[in-house]
Structure formats: structure tokens, C-alpha cells
Structure 1
């Protein structure tokens, strides 16, 4: 990882530079039609609400004045103007809120772009439906990564905030994650490390569950911090990848993060923002990635011996260097890739989800059946 420079996150704002950068961003990354319509609709809604509030407030004052004069008491005085002051204040708050929110977003993007450049990286404001294979990226709809900070040296690393929606109508929910995506040198078996420290009383905070017969127990106190899942039959491969020194790195640096290794990627997940204006968060994330990168080179030498007889494995990525971990003749050395049985973990069937589905269906049809 490059040297850490967080001055851009807290230094004084150059208003002219922010304005120029916002115009540049709008040119390089034009809003989608849906985003443009939503933004215009929000502005129009705020304006309409403001006008309605002023009209209603003015009408209330005029009514109070008319009532006071007809009663012969000389008018409502200051009290009669309180509705106008109240509604006018609400209208001002709405308009100011829209303006301040837009200004903060522009300043945030300007700071993150400067921060990325200062650390040898690049900033991307948003990316709809990112094509990443991690478990959180294929769920729900309206999938989007925001405030992406991406570097390519010494290997590809991407920091971002991600969100997706599930359900519809009143049951619509937005799920937010912070993530770090690290590109590996070779595809590896699908392995998940569920950090036990960030789970809830209801169990894992991960969006999907995995069958417990795929859980592998490792030596030392590793099991007290992580639940490790690997495909059946790949236990020895997981032990090769998670040597004691690698496990020590995870325990020391990634105890609060969930980890997924899938295809030729490693993902670190958290339920809070990763790409932020907080220098302490960035310093922590840089230290985590820096500690792990030094141990990932040896993973590039892993080969799936199951492909020695059938080289039809999936094998993206760049060529790996170094000797093979298995003593097989060079002429029959397995190609890079993972056999089909190791590419994805088997997911656990959710009885709780089925119960909720049944209750929802019953709740929908019960009024129809009873005639209510």
C-alpha cells in the first residue's frame, strides 16, 4: 500500500475548486436517467412543499386578521402572525436542507478525490450494479457502490460503500455495507470467515447462511473469533492457505470484519462505511490491507489437484509465479482454477425465511377468504 496521507480529509475547503470538481464529475460521470429524474423530483417536491407552506401560512394569517377585525379588537397582533412565521420557517428549513445536502456531497467527493490522489489511487463517485462476485453484490435490486477509492499497486484494491434494496412498498428495505475488494493472483476455493465479534443475538450478520457441515475448525484460538466455511473436500486446501502466520494476520487485523474468498477475489465486509471522511477509519483500513497483502503472494501458488485429470476449471486472473505446493510432474501439473465442487459453498436453507414467507402469504389472502 502507498504511504498514508489524510490531509485532504480535513484541510480547509476551496469553494472554487469544489465547484470546478463538481462540474468535472458531472461531465465524466453523468447521472443516469433514473438518478436525474429522482434529483429533479426531489428539488421540485421541496419547492412545491415550500410554496404550499407559505400559501397555507399566509391564508391562516389573513383568516386571523379578518376574524380579529370582524370582532372589533383591532386585529390579531403578533400572535396572528405566528402561523406565518412557523410555516415560513419550515419552508426555509426544507430549501436550506436541500442546498446544504448538495453542497456537502460535492465537498465530500472533492475531499475523497484529493485523498485518493494523495495516496496514489483514483476516485469514482458511483458505480451501478458493480460486477463483483461477493455474496452481498448479487442480492436485491437498486445495487450501487458509492465513493469508490481504487488502487492498482502493489495489487488491485477497491474501497467502497455499497447498498441494495429488498422487498417492495412498505416492506422495502435498504441494506448498506462497507467493503474492501482485493484482487488475488489466482482463483481459490470459496471460503468465508464469519467474524463472531460482529454477530447479533440472532446469529450471523451476513446476508446469506452456509451449511454447518462445511465449517472447518482451525488450531489455536482462531475458532473463538471466526467461523470458517470451506467446500467439502477442500479442508486440506484451506489449511494450506490459512497457515499459522496467515491466521495470525487475520486475528490481529481483521477481527471486526467478515471475509470472503471467491474466485480470484478477497472481500472484507463491514456494516459501516469504509469510504469516509474519517482519517482514523482510513488509517485502520490501510493497515489491514497492508498487513494482508504481504501474505497473499503465497496464495497465488495454490493449485487444485482435482483439475489434473480434467482441466476444465474456471481460471481468470494473471499468471502465478513460484513452485507448486503439490509434488506432481510438470507435464501433468493442474492448471490454474478451481474444480466445480469448490467454486461455491452450499447455502443453508432458511426455515425462518420460509416462516415469514408463509405468514406474509396468509396475511395477504386471509382478508380475501374472510370477506373483510
Structure 2
């Protein structure tokens, strides 16, 4: 009896575009807050904001009010106007900032509600955010304040997660927030760490957060190299050729040429520098089509095994029945050295699923483009000092 085929659901996009009622949005967010209580970090941020407001804005407003009262008491309106000028700063900031904050917050809440309903309509689940997600991809262990948001997850025929991700690097004035969209697909077996750097989304060099040693580049047949730069661990070139057969290469070119791809452990990640989980219908159609086209080929990858694991623990132990005639003992007739009491199953001749240590992660390198950009920035920043030094020399 064959297993029933998984139920097919139509691609439903109406929740992304149809009108929503504010009451429904508010009820949705009340449920989100119940399921996700305010974290300690959010409480600390709120306290800091309140303290800054109390220490900066309230004294300014108090000073202005004191001046206005003094001016009225003295009968000189100019004094009151002079003292009221500092109060204009927080008033203007509040008049501009508060409406912008309210509008932005309302749009975020509404878009989150739409994406949650979109997930439900397509037989998927939704989570508004996950702090520091435990994923092995190259973007997930960098910087601080790591947060995945707008997570849409499917389970059939395999686990797939669409999400947005941010992390910060630096501090103070040099603090930078990095934003990504990603698709995470669970694979059947661990595979070597392979990266496809899409050439179509690069500007000044690769836009990936990691740079890999150039000797790990592998050129594939056809026009694949016109769309991707493929990196695989040294010694795994034949394995990469096994995984990236011509039909799989064609799928990546046709559907994922604008996406960076990383295969690590038993995951495949698709990366983009804009939100993957969004209210844009065309983005969802593209990503659903890409995942669907690639997923039909993953059965080929499930058959891959790392032959290095066969010898990872040294030479295989000798089977007891392969003893020499002299060591067989007086109560057991000697057996030919190659005789076995049974035929081992064919599957036992293959290594177990997994990747040898040398294939689990690519070796990182550095980018000459980054070095040149840094030198140019430092040079431009030093020009005023250089001109000043030259002028002093010529004056003397």
C-alpha cells in the first residue's frame, strides 16, 4: 500500500492585499503579546528612553516655562519669547517624530498581521520573531542583537522557513545594522559546506558577509560560472560535481540567479539583501517558485555520502571469521581468510550520513576590494591634515 501524496494547497495571496480591519489587527497583537511576553531587553530600552526624556527634554521645557512666567510677571514679552525658544526644540521633535512613529508602528503591525494570515491561508505557520535563531548559516553568528522576524514556516514535504534577519556590528557612532532576507530548507543528510556567490547581486565585489579563500573556487561546465562563483572545501571538488549535476545547475540559473546560496550541515540557505517575508506578492511568488523548483532535486542529494568517513577512525577492524588457520583454535575448523558467515546488507557498505571535519566549513580569506576601499577612505580623511602640513612647509 503506497503512502498518500501530501495534500496540495493553492498559492493564496489575498491576505497580503485585501483590506484589514484595525480591530482584527489589535486582537492579533494582543494574542502575540500573550504568547511573547515583554523581554528584559525591551524593558531596559523603555527605561533608558524614559530616563533620557526626563533628563533632557523635561528640564528644557521647565526652563522655557519659567522664562515665560518671568516675562509675563515683568511685563516684558521679549523676555518670555527669548526663554520660550529652547522649548521649540522638543516641541518640533515631538510634533514630527511622534506621528512618524505612530504611522510606522501601525504599518508594521498591519503588515505582520497580513503575513500571518498569508501563512495560515497557505497551510503554514507564523512566528513574529525569534531572538538569536540557532541556524548554522554564515549570517546567523555575526555581531550582536541578532533577531529573526516575520517567520513563515512550512513542514511538507520538508521543513522550510522564510524570514527576515538583522544583526548589529560596531558601537556608538560606528554601529551598523545589517538586514537580510533568507530562506532555510532542511536537507535529508549533512553535505559539504558549499557557497554559491550570485554575481547578479554584487556591486563592488561580493555582498556576502564572509570572504572565502580563492583556492576553494570550483569552475563548473556550461555558463554556470557566468551566474555564480562556487566555493567548496579543498578535496571536495568531485563531491561538488556529483551534487551539482547539469539539471540542478539549470534550476539554480533559472530560479535563483539573484540569490546567494549556502549549503552547510543539513541545511540550504538562500540569502537576499531585502526582506524575504513581506507583503509583496511578486516576492512570495518568486521564492515559492524557486524553492519548489529546487526541492524536486533534493532526492539526488540525499544519496550522497562522504567516503572519508569510511577511514576516519583508521583501518577497518578485522572480522572475527577472517582469522588465519593457526588462530582458529582446536574446536573450530580453520576458515578461508576471506570467508564470511553472512552477506552484509548492501547499505552497510556505504559510509554513514555525515561530513568529515575538513569538509564541514570553508576556509575564510580576505577581499582586496575591501582593503582598497579602506585605504581610500583613510586617504580622503587624511587629506586636510596633509594639505595643512604642506602649507606650513611652504610658508616656512
Q: Calculate the TM-score normalised by the size of structure 2.
A: 0.75
Among residues 228, 232, 247, which one is paired with 2:249 in the alignment? 247
Alpha-carbon distance in 1 for matches of 2:225, 2:245:
14
Map of 1:270 onto structure 2: 272
Map of 2:44 onto structure 1: 37
What does 1:209-224 align with in structure 2 at a 5 Å threshold?
A: 209-224=211-226
What does 1:36-75 align with in structure 2 at a 5 Å threshold?
A: 36-42=43-49, 55=62, 70=76
Map of 2:161 onto structure 1: 158
1:54–1:91 Cα contact (<8 Å) kept: no
Alpha-carbon distance in 2 for matches of 1:353, 1:169:
23
Map of 1:16 onto structure 2: 23
What does 1:131-142 align with in structure 2 at a 5 Å threshold?
A: 131-142=134-145
Among residues 355, 358, 364, which one is paired with 1:347 in the alignment? 364
Alpha-carbon distance in 1 for matches of 2:219, 2:41:
47
2:16–2:281 Cα contact (<8 Å) kept: yes
Map of 2:351 onto structure 1: 334
Relative distance call for 1:148 and 1:54 in structure 2 (3 A) is same
Map of 2:113 onto structure 1: 110
Among residues 264, 288, 291, which one is paired with 1:289 in the alignment? 291
Shift of 1:51: 5.1
Shift of 1:213: 1.1
Q: For 1:305-343, what per-residue CA distance to the aligned partner results, in whole angstroms no more than 9, with x for missing partners? A: 22223379xxxxxxxxxxxxxxx9543211111111111
Alpha-carbon distance in 2 for matches of 1:276, 1:47:
37
Mean CA deviation greater in 166-175 or 131-140: 166-175
Shift of 1:57: 6.0
Shift of 1:224: 0.6
1:57–1:87 Cα contact (<8 Å) kept: no
2:182–2:270 Cα contact (<8 Å) kept: yes
Q: Calculate the TM-score normalised by the size of structure 1.
A: 0.80
1:65–1:80 Cα contact (<8 Å) kept: no
Shift of 1:22: 1.0
Secondary structure in 1 matching 2:296: helix
Shift of 1:119: 1.0
Map of 1:146 onto structure 2: 149
Map of 1:298 onto structure 2: 300
Map of 1:208 onto structure 2: 210
Shift of 1:48: 7.5
Alpha-carbon distance in 2 for matches of 1:57, 1:147:
44
2:67–2:84 Cα contact (<8 Å) kept: no
Among residues 4, 7, 14, which one is paired with 2:14 in the alignment? 7
Map of 1:98 onto structure 2: 101
1:145–1:163 Cα contact (<8 Å) kept: yes
Check if 1:124 corresponds to 2:127. yes
Structure 1, unpaired ranges of 5+: 313-327, 364-372
Among residues 190, 193, 204, which one is paired with 1:190 in the alignment? 193
1:47–1:95 Cα contact (<8 Å) kept: no
Q: CA RMSD in A?
A: 3.3
Map of 2:325 onto structure 1: none
Relative distance call for 1:85 and 1:230 in structure 2 (3 A) is closer
Alpha-carbon distance in 1 for matches of 2:22, 2:54:
25
Relative distance call for 1:125 and 1:43 in structure 2 (3 A) is farther
Secondary structure in 2 matching 1:137: coil
1:46–1:94 Cα contact (<8 Å) kept: no
